[in-house]
Chains A and B, each alone.
Chain A
Amino acid sequence: MTEQVPLLELRNIAKSFDGTRAVNGVDFSCLRGEIHGLVGENGAGKSTLMKVAAGIHVPESGKILVGGRECRLRSYLDARREGIGVVYQELSLLPELSVAENIVMGIWPRGRGGLIDWKAAKERSRSALTSIGSEVDPDTLVASLPMAARQMVEIAKVLSQKPELIIFDEPTAPLSSDEVAILFDIFRDLKSRGKGIVFISHRLDEVLAISDRITVMKDGLRVVTDSCAAFDEGKLISSMVGRQFSEIFPPKGGRAREGSPLFSFDGVLSRFGRRVAFDVGRGEVLGLGGLQGQGQLELLQSIFGLGGCERQSVRIHGASVSVGSPIRAMRQGIALVPENRNEEGVFLILSVLQNLSACTVSRRQRMGFIRPRAEREAVEEMVKRLSIRIASTRQTASLLSGGNMQKLVIGKWLIFNPRVIVLLEPTKGVDVATKQEIYRLIRELAERNVAVIMNTSDMLELIGVCDRVLIMNRGMLTASLEGPAITEENIMKASVSRTDILTAGDRP
């Protein structure tokens, strides 16, 4: 890189929350025409640093320079005026409004008499969407779009504000690999037009594939900034976690399936009208994979009474049971860790204690009253077991990092002590170290004879964690892979296959 004035420069930025230093004297810069990868575990301070650049957080100390000129960013609007746009991890779209209404939000095209010119708005939205290769109709309600399409709308919205620097906070998390390729084309196009891009991601291969420079953060500090060529995945991970990266996945149990299955499911997916059946044994980790949105989530949610399947029959140890609602499913010892932890998993405004004890309050009662000590002990034990980083169990959950929030959700169900646990994308938006801890936990559960059913869009996870893998395509089960047959090639093949193993006469 030549000596040019950076588009954005952050000098010695510090920001704390409740006395915890989230970012502690960090320097960061992004040049014109540069894609700057920013990686680190959850809670390393990446998002906080970028929120400083976006005007969301005002730092306690440090300078922000845009194009070499020092400026104060006190709000989102200040940052937008300085040409900084952010595509957020938790999308900032309003689901009950149309795509066009969302895209022009806050910078409405004015027509006669100061009224909003909706024709121009739709036109602007359409051109913003086509410029990134999306064919979404501007009149569609955002709520009716799948996550990946919403992500594109979000990107179109930010780009329509003509920013010079765009911060992408985990944009690839909800995207399939095809969609990631489209996103990277957009990145390259922006880069060729001299825009700066900051790319935050947990997917290290993607960061390595597209970045010019990479900055690694850890515990609120900058560990290293260097050109992409200086890194490989191993080096990135070891600088992120500060230890040698030896093994991501714990060894599998390798136990043979014993006797009759613990849990079996048979039902018809409402969206596809297809029959699906499978079973899981004691201590088995069953993975459900395939391309995203092929019915995996509906199938697994229906086990927990959240709908998605018709004419379903669930058996535990061969006996038919009812799982029509979460309460009924829990009576059968079934637990579910949802995909969207902010909406379905964590009580953001309640304390860590109330979160962890939520499923099991009635178990720790004496004469109708909760026994506070029993509760505290159960919660503190779980905090220790999952090494959840908190100042106090009375702390509100909203300020925890993504990884720690996920641990709250998992911990809540571990206290419940299920015999069947369903995990939906358990490592989504979670840092590497927490991922490893979650893998270890899954193994631990299997060793205790819990039947684990998990859905993940990360192929390596399917291969590394699961004893058996089912692949879904368009609501059909297209393969059941076991042991050495769980390979990338087999998974990919089955993901696009059109043969239903149930009707093909195979064992489910």
Chain B
Amino acid sequence: MTERQRNLRLYVPVYAISLVIYLAACFVEPTFFTWNNNVNLFTRVTPLVLVGIAQTYVILTGGIDLSIGATVGLATVIAASLPFVDTPSNVLLWLLIPPSIGLAVGLLNGLVITRGGFPPLIVTLATGAVWKGVSLFILAEPGGSVSSGVATFVTGTLFGFLPVPLVVLLLSVLVFHLILKRTAFGRSIYAIGGNERVAYESGIPCDRVKVWVYGLSGLIGGLVGMFLSARMSSGDPLVGEPYILNSIAVTVIAGTSLAGGRGGIIGIIGGAYIFDLLNNILNLLAISTFYQYVAKGLVLIIALAITSGGAELRPGRLLRKGRRKELQEENG
């Protein structure tokens, strides 16, 4: 199997499933297929796509970032605590500080993981707890305020018709896809996830790349926090919590192997749509919350079964395939 075939097998199903769910939603609720609703969707999906990209980068190296939720929360809290009077210098501060803090948080993760040689799962679980505590200390409950100019910009349109979230969404997928596929940094990420020892002996600066991958994850977390605080016009220390697991789920649905080295971000938008639309439909159908959780879990497993790659490395699957073929021969 070549890379291209594998990619097709990964990405076509993700978008097929999200399209099916989308059409189902339109069927259930005709107003769903309106421009306004779609703009709403872009706005809701964008943060999930962004944290999915961050998580994909980390998971491709064979790591994981459980602190991304806390980073998002911290960034919203800080964004909402900055002065909210619109002066150019305030806006500049507002644009620079949350992402920088996200970057710093991420770099710290990377340094602890590489210098200490600790497992990323535990390190990011721990730093996540710390930053969640710090956020709650700064802002015990949702509140604060955000510069109104920025808030209207983020939720507004470009040239009068292009919703800003859609632009952010498409641009970030494009840029981060290019970085992954067309730069030495991206190549190193795949190499490290493919086999870190081989990567090291091929002269790839594994530790440095990993530090920057976690740094990037933190930076994206900071940007998402900024985006969310602008949308909510406030900060919320716990707003990022759902993103911890959702970012991992979106990454895997989009075809990235949790073992690292395989996958990409082309499928991320589809994965995020599957996630969000599922919520949406279940709400539209007025299904009670209990059933919603069950239904969500089941649909996710089905999506995963259809999209997840890596079957060729699972001996059990190959054996079963062989057996199925044999049975077919026997019957036919």
Contacts and interface: CB of A to CB of B under 8 A. Distances in A.
Contacts, number: 99
A358 interface: yes
Nearest to B6: A396
Interface stretch (A176-184, A345-353, A455-463): A345-353
A394 B191 CA distance: 15
A407 to B, nearest CB: 15
Interface string A337-368: 01000011111111100100111011001001
Contacts of A330: 203
A58 interface: yes
A504 interface: no
Nearest to B178: A369
Contact of A362 (B184, B190, B201, B325): B184
Contact of B202 (A18, A74, A359, A398): A359
A326 B198 contact: no
B194 A349 contact: yes
A189 B172 CA distance: 67
A326 B184 contact: no
B195 A347 contact: yes
Interface in B195-216: 195, 197-205
A74 B2 contact: no
A347 B194 contact: yes
Contacts of B198: 343-347, 358
A327 B205 contact: yes
A56 B182 CA distance: 38
A203 interface: no
Interface in A408-435: 412
A304 B198 CA distance: 13
Contacts of A223: none
Interface centre among B188, B200, B203 (most CB of A within 10 A): B203
A18 B5 CA distance: 12
Interface string A318-335: 000000001100100000
Interface centre among B4, B182, B325 (most CB of A within 10 A): B182
Given A346-B198, A350-B194, A358 B313 contact: no
Nearest to A350: B194
B183 interface: yes
A18 B1 CA distance: 6
Interface in A247-287: none
Interface residues of A, number: 42
Contacts of A391: 2
A378 interface: no
A306 B202 CA distance: 12
Contacts of B242: none
B323 interface: yes
B317 interface: no
A104 interface: no
A395 B319 CA distance: 22
Nearest to B4: A394
Interface string A1-37: 0000000000000000010000000000000000000
Given A346-B198, A347-B198, A358 B191 contact: yes
Contacts of B1: 18, 395-396
A72 B326 CA distance: 10
B202 A58 contact: no
B201 A304 contact: yes
A350 B158 CA distance: 40
B76 to A, nearest CB: 32
Contacts of B132: none
Interface string A41-74: 0000000000000001110100000000000101
Contacts of A346: 195, 198
B199 to A, nearest CB: 7
A340 to B, nearest CB: 10
A370 interface: yes
B142 to A, nearest CB: 40
A95 to B, nearest CB: 14
Interface in B253-269: 261-262
A350 B261 contact: yes
Contacts of A146: none
Given A391-B2, A398-B313, A326 B201 contact: yes
A412 B262 contact: no
A330 B202 CA distance: 9
Contacts of A75: 319
Contacts of A304: 201
Contact of B183 (A343, A354, A368, A392): A368
Contacts of B187: 354, 357-358, 361, 370
A129 B204 CA distance: 42
A344 B201 contact: yes
A432 B105 CA distance: 55
Nearest to A359: B202
B201 A338 contact: yes
A361 B315 CA distance: 33
Interface centre among A344, A347, A395 (most CB of B within 10 A): A347
Contacts of A106: none
B322 interface: yes
Contact of B313 (A58, A60, A344, A349): A349
Interface string B176-193: 001000111001101100
B184 A365 contact: yes
A372 interface: yes
Contact of B3 (A306, A394, A412): A394
Interface in B78-108: none
Nearest to B187: A361
Nearest to A364: B184
Interface of A: 18, 56-58, 60, 72, 74-75, 304, 306, 326-327, 330, 336, 338, 343-351, 354, 357-359, 361-362, 365, 368-370, 372, 391-392, 394-396, 398, 412
Given A57-B322, A336-B201, 16 more contacts: A74-B326, A75-B319, A344-B201, A345-B201, A347-B194, A347-B198, A354-B190, A354-B191, A357-B187, A358-B198, A359-B203, A365-B183, A369-B182, A392-B2, A396-B2, A398-B313
User: Sorted from nearest, which 6 A-B pairs have the closest CB atoms?
Assistant: A58-B322, A347-B194, A394-B2, A394-B3, A358-B202, A330-B203
24 contacts: A58-B323, A60-B325, A74-B322, A338-B201, A344-B197, A346-B198, A348-B194, A349-B261, A349-B313, A351-B2, A351-B3, A354-B187, A357-B187, A358-B191, A358-B199, A359-B202, A359-B203, A361-B184, A361-B187, A362-B184, A370-B183, A370-B184, A372-B182, A398-B312
